Structure 1
């Protein structure tokens, strides 16, 4: 029932941002008005099936301002991406071809919805993003500016993950949590911090796994391929599989 309209909504979000990014924001106001209308229409449909005590729509003015901020952040990030991937030939290639840009756009919209407690629609958008890009980012994850995801396939970023600025992540990386075993006497608060914090300027290479809400990867660190990190790492560290090697 939802597969067609949810994919259409995700496509509309991406198309809206592609148009404004490629046209230097011409007609941005009208494009964002239409996008907000489509999002509110989906919220109304969801509310008919899953009634809640919350308003079925969000504030148009607030949403529009947030979408503008997302646009200007993307302009800055796309302008800097050449420094991190020499394969890029022009900004248009990034906008039209790179899956991580799709994932970032859809995450920022879904994160806005998540913060406003429209959790189901946020998850619908994030799952469409996962299907499109192979990058699985929970809408609750807090992501700073200039996240660069190279290749991207198989990346998992959990709900309470915090990522700072200028972080680079390669394919197959998991920013996850430990398994929970529940029985009748257990009471697990799933809203506690369960996923790691990645500070500024960290690089995480392919297939690394970083687990736990108390795990912090300090600024300027490098996490090598296939590393398993389950405790905090000091700033400026180099972590290889099975060992931590001081400052780099």
Structure 2
């Protein structure tokens, strides 16, 4: 079939459409955005422009840290006793240099009052402290790995859990982010947590304190708030929320930041799918919380709470 070509008078020269002055009214829109950005809705701090931490760089850092912690699972399968330490050392050298840069950028970008006058040397020291705790973090992660193996009858071996379970991925990311949060590198820690959230559907605030032997089965939709404290050997299932019941405010009505407002879950607790546990309440050691339960009151140790019995829990004193 012969293709019809429009007459010369109807053809547009290259760039003619983009050159049309009234097509998008860009001059007006750009000017209005400038007014919003600089005046009416400004969120910018005074001073020189600052570079935010790079989410892409932090993803690479998380991948590298995970490879260094578990080099034969996430790194290279052909590593042996002769070259594995070289791989781990080289990986850490690259990753920690990059992390140091991101920590510095994060502190300077937000001007965090927790890190006033933050310098490059401070970022180096913070990164050095973080790195020194990696062996302890790996030890904790092994307890999480074993808890998943014991707690899930479908789990056949450790490698399956380590590289295939979203709950394991989420807790690896959390334990790394939590270290940084404790050292007040909070923007970087929060971005790491959000990377884990995007990857797994599990939302753990980096401020949450989680003991050893922690297992999230299935995991999708789990939410764990900033001031949550979780003891040892706790198992939770998908769609569990450990959240805040209300948000305290000051005399002027502003939300008070950082108050303890999330649950305390003691050792050896199991929380089944869909349970919602809100406020600074305590779930006593050895308790079992059934699926879809809504809890805003303390639960004594060794309790079994289901939808039918939840209403009979006595109010906290």
Give the TM-score normalised by the residue count of structure 1.
0.88
CA distance, structure 1, for counterparts of residue 188 and residue 205 of structure 2: 12
After TM superposition, give the deviation of residue 45 of structure 1 in Å.
Answer: 3.2
CA distance, structure 2, for counterparts of residue 217 and residue 4 of structure 1: 38
Task: State whether residues 149 and 161 of structure 2, in contact with CA within 8 Å, keep that contact through their aligned partners in structure 1.
Answer: no
CA distance, structure 2, for counterparts of residue 48 and residue 190 of structure 1: 21
Task: State whether residues 214 and 235 of structure 2, in contact with CA within 8 Å, keep that contact through their aligned partners in structure 1.
Answer: yes
Q: Cα distance 1:55–1:165, how it changes in 2: closer, same or farther (>3 A)?
A: farther
* 1:1-248 alignment, distance < 5 Å: 2-19=54-71, 26-27=84-85, 28-47=88-107, 49-51=109-111, 52-56=116-120, 57-59=123-125, 60-180=127-247, 185-213=252-280, 215-244=281-310
Q: Cα distance 1:184–1:81, how it changes in 2: closer, same or farther (>3 A)?
A: closer
CA distance, structure 2, for counterparts of residue 94 and residue 154 of structure 1: 19
Q: Cα distance 1:65–1:181, how it changes in 2: closer, same or farther (>3 A)?
A: closer
SS of 1:175's equivalent in the other structure is strand
Q: Cα distance 1:97–1:141, how it changes in 2: closer, same or farther (>3 A)?
A: same
More strand per residue = 1
Bigger relative contact order, structure 1 or 2 (CA pairs below 8 A, ≥6 apart): 1
After TM superposition, give the deviation of residue 63 of structure 1 in Å.
Answer: 1.9
Give the TM-score normalised by the residue count of structure 2.
0.70
Q: Cα distance 1:53–1:116, how it changes in 2: closer, same or farther (>3 A)?
A: same
SS of 1:74's equivalent in the other structure is helix
Gaps of 5+ in 2: 1-51
Q: Deviations over 1:172-200 (max 9, x none)?
A: 00000023386972244221210000000
Task: State whether residues 222 and 236 of structure 1, in contact with CA within 8 Å, keep that contact through their aligned partners in structure 2.
Answer: yes
SS of 1:68's equivalent in the other structure is helix
CA RMSD of aligned residues (A): 2.5
CA distance, structure 2, for counterparts of residue 24 and residue 195 of structure 1: 45
- The alignment of Structure 1 onto Structure 2 pairs a total of residues equal to 245
SS of 1:236's equivalent in the other structure is coil
Larger radius of gyration: 2
Deviates more, 1:114-123 or 1:234-243: 234-243
Q: Cα distance 1:187–1:4, how it changes in 2: closer, same or farther (>3 A)?
A: closer
Q: Cα distance 1:227–1:132, how it changes in 2: closer, same or farther (>3 A)?
A: same
CA distance, structure 1, for counterparts of residue 155 and residue 267 of structure 2: 23
SS of 1:210's equivalent in the other structure is strand
